[in-house]
Amino acid sequence: MVEEQNVGAEKNETQNGNNEIIVPFPEELQQKKLTFLDVLGRLSPGKSLRTALDDILEGETGALIVIDCPELRNIMEGGFRINCRFTPQKLAELAKMDGAIILSEDLKKILFCNVLLVPDSKIPSNETGTRHKAAERTSKHTGTSTIAVSERRNKITLFYEDKKYVLENSEHLLRRATETLHILEKQREIFDDILKNLNVLEITKLVSAADVCSVLQRTGVIIKMMDTMKRYLTELGNQGVIIRMRLREIFKDIEPLQEKVIKDYSNKPQNTKRILDGITFEGVIDTESLSRMIFENSPDTQLSPRGFRLLNKLNLTEREIKSLIGYFENLSNLLDAKDEELRKVLKGKSDSFRKELDNLKEQILMGKKV
């Protein structure tokens, strides 16, 4: 039996100067707003909130659960103030009532139950059910997260601001994550081969815009696929540990490599990064369009790298790398540099630099990974 409780019945472990227990109202607690992935992580299998939601589904009852925020109070009517510590059992029991259940921002307390939510009816909604329509409009109206559990559709739906995400069965999700992992592994293999080819082309001074686009295309594809995998792994929680370990290996150095390639070839690195982040999978794959957006030239245009990426593989400080590029302007000129020119920049370190550079060129031309 659920009983209405006094606000002071549950005490936070907060004291003032007189050692008196202070019970702050939820609106007085300054919580950092949860991101979409934060909320999704709380809904992963094995977490308390997910356990409660699964119990609600198994009990063939629905629920509308809302995470508290200051704007929410403006659209709440009726209900009971509970203010009790969250447990899956309590939430499942309270879900037997018709109204919404309000959880604290940190998801540690159940604040209200049986609440009527009256968000702006003019807010567009594609949902058909009353509960899901209220959940979507509440999320858009207040900017908070809402969870709708449908006994009829046997689904749990998360609404976050203007996003909608239907939680999937763990086995199905794990299968999709594994399939995506295999694709990512293949993409990484292709990327490593393309990068080896770029190394050879840079040393032999035969780089075209298309060659650079090929590298950026693969980094773009991998980064975008990783964003999808983050959602899968967040929702899987502990069930995705092995996949997460393999992903770290696949994703290792991808973003730094992308940054160095952009720095080597783009006159506007920040704009180039924004272009890569903003385009779709189809846009990433279209070499012609990508070349014209980034380089404002056709894919067959010849380019020369500044040399940041390869010079970082040598025993040089950041200051020395900048000095070399500042003096020689690009890698092609540096490869043709005479010893006396190198001494002007590196002084006594020029001989060791020449040996390191020759060794690097030899490894690249032998097809080794550097």
Confidence of residue 2 (pLDDT cuts 50, 70, 90): very low
Hey, what amino acid is at 232? Y
**Residue 50 burial class via C-beta count within 10 angstroms: exposed 0-12, middle 13-18, buried 19 and up:** buried
Spatial distance between the Cα atoms of 247 and 241, rounded to a whole number of angstroms: 10
User: Is the separation of the CB atoms in 356 and 314 below 8 Å?
Assistant: yes
Hey, what amino acid is at 49? L
Residue 260's nearest CA partner among 331, 171, 200 is 331
Q: State mean pLDDT over 79-100.
A: 93
Residues 55 and 134 in one domain: yes
Please check whether residue 239 lies inside any domain of the structure: yes
User: Is the separation of the CB atoms in 198 and 2 below 8 Å?
Assistant: no
Confidence of residue 28 (pLDDT cuts 50, 70, 90): very low
CATH code: domain of residue 40:
3.40.1700.10
Please check whether residue 249 lies inside any domain of the structure: yes
Confidence of residue 261 (pLDDT cuts 50, 70, 90): very high
User: Is the separation of the CB atoms in 73 and 27 below 8 Å?
Assistant: yes
**Residue 114 burial class via C-beta count within 10 angstroms: exposed 0-12, middle 13-18, buried 19 and up:** middle
Residue 360 has pLDDT above 70, yes or no: yes
Residues 163 and 185 in one domain: no
Spatial distance between the Cα atoms of 352 and 23, rounded to a whole number of angstroms: 68
Domain boundary among 167, 183, 207: 167
Residue 9 has pLDDT above 50, yes or no: no
Residues 272 and 366 in one domain: no
Please check whether residue 192 lies inside any domain of the structure: yes
Residues 88 and 212 in one domain: no
CATH code: domain of residue 186:
1.20.1260.110
Confidence of residue 86 (pLDDT cuts 50, 70, 90): very high
Hey, what amino acid is at 176? R
**Residue 64 half-sphere exposure, CB side, CA atoms within 13 Å?**
21
Domain of 344 in residue numbering reads as: 306-370
Both tokens assigned to 109: 């307390």
Spatial distance between the Cα atoms of 61 and 41, rounded to a whole number of angstroms: 23
Share of the chain above pLDDT 70, in %: 91
Residues 47 and 88 in one domain: yes
pLDDT, position 152: 83
Highest mean pLDDT among 124-128, 278-282, 351-355: 351-355
User: Is the separation of the CB atoms in 3 and 80 below 8 Å?
Assistant: no
Helix axes 254-265 and 209-236, enclosed angle (nearest 10): 150
Characterize 208-243 residue by residue with b for buried, 16 or more Cβ atoms within 10 angstroms of its Cβ, and e for exposed.
bbbbbbbbbbbbbbbbbbbeebeebbbbbbebbeeb
Query: Rg of the Cα trace of the chain?
Result: 28
Residues 202 and 281 in one domain: yes
Global confidence as pTM: 0.69
Spatial distance between the Cα atoms of 151 and 92, rounded to a whole number of angstroms: 13
Both tokens assigned to 334: 């540096």
Please check whether residue 6 lies inside any domain of the structure: no
Residues 292 and 360 in one domain: no
pLDDT, position 32: 66
Hey, what amino acid is at 78? G
Residues 59 and 137 in one domain: yes
Give me the phi and psi of 297, to 5 degrees please: -145, 165
Contacts with 241 (C-beta within 8 Å, 6 or more apart), sequence order: none
Residues 158 and 182 in one domain: no
DSSP run (H or E) holding 210: helix 209-236
| Average pLDDT for the chain | 87
pLDDT, position 7: 35
Both tokens assigned to 18: 């007189």
Please check whether residue 16 lies inside any domain of the structure: no
Beta bridge partners of 157: 148, 166
Residues 206 and 282 in one domain: yes
Residue 4 has pLDDT above 80, yes or no: no
Residue 160's nearest CA partner among 234, 223, 244 is 234
Domain boundary among 284, 304, 324: 304
Residue 54 has pLDDT above 50, yes or no: yes
Spatial distance between the Cα atoms of 370 and 355, rounded to a whole number of angstroms: 16
Residue 8 has pLDDT above 70, yes or no: no
Out of 27-41, 192-206, 339-353, pick the least confident: 27-41
pLDDT, position 101: 97
Residues 240 and 282 in one domain: yes
Residues 137 and 214 in one domain: no
Residue 134 has pLDDT above 60, yes or no: yes
Task: Compute the C-alpha angle 229/232/233, nearest 5°.
Answer: 85
Spatial distance between the Cα atoms of 225 and 233, rounded to a whole number of angstroms: 12
Residue 207 has pLDDT above 80, yes or no: yes
Q: State mean pLDDT over 70-97.
A: 93
**What is the number of structural domains in the chain?**
3
Please check whether residue 11 lies inside any domain of the structure: no
Residue 67's nearest CA partner among 8, 126, 111 is 111
Residues 160-201 have pLDDT tens digits of 988 899 988 778 888 999 999 999 999 999 999 999 999 999
Please check whether residue 180 lies inside any domain of the structure: yes
First vs last C-alpha separation in the chain: 67
* Residue with more model confidence, 369 or 281: 369
Please check whether residue 21 lies inside any domain of the structure: no
Domain boundary among 167, 201, 217: 167
User: Is the separation of the CB atoms in 345 and 323 below 8 Å?
Assistant: yes
pLDDT, position 26: 41
